[in-house]
């Protein structure tokens, strides 16, 4: 699934450039991705779209409000793991992940097929959340998101 998400990022400049799900599935299969991985990636993208729609009112909030601390539940810690939560905090504190996108990332990361997530996996998901919103990303943070620390996850 993660290889497919990276493939989408590398091959489609914006989310709007992606074809419809059925056409995309055919294109991904033609490139050589496995059916199960395609299914998982498209399901995750649907979750991302749904979560984004529900969190959209948060994105309208002015960014001049003071930063609030995010308290993670035991369930979120179990699903995400401390490494992923640490990376989310890093993105947030470097002003690359506004609160609305943080919540979208947390929700969609919990939809992953296993837990806890590795650092490489949370980086891919964060990249996709930022890409889906066409968010501006600091160059150094962008390089960190693309860094292949542990080898690209293949789930």
**Structural domain spans, the chain:** 2-60+70-146
Per-residue pLDDT of the chain (155 residues; tens, 9 = 90+): 999 999 999 999 888 899 999 999 999 999 999 999 999 999 999 999 988 888 766 655 555 555 668 899 999 999 999 999 999 999 999 889 988 899 999 999 998 888 899 999 999 999 999 999 888 888 888 888 888 655 545 45
Q: How far apart are CA 125 and CA 6, in angstroms?
A: 9
Q: Specify the pTM.
A: 0.84
């Amino acid at each position: 699934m993660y290889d497919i998400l990276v493939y989408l990022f590398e091959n489609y400049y914006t989310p709007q450039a992606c074809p419809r799900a059925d056409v995309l599935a055919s294109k991904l299969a033609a490139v050589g991705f496995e059916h199960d991985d395609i299914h998982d990636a498209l399901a995750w993208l649907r979750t991302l779209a749904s979560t984004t729609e529900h969190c959209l009112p948060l994105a309208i909030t002015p960014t001049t409000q003071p930063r609030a601390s995010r308290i993670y539940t035991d369930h979120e810690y179990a699903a995400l793991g401390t490494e992923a939560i640490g990376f989310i905090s890093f993105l947030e504190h470097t002003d690359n992940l506004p609160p609305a996108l943080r919540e979208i990332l947390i929700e969609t990361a919990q939809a992953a097929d296993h837990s806890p997530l590795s650092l490489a996996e949370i980086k891919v998901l964060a990249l996709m959340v930022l890409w889906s919103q066409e968010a501006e990303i600091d160059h150094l943070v962008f390089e960190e998101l693309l860094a292949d620390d542990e080898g690209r996850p293949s789930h």
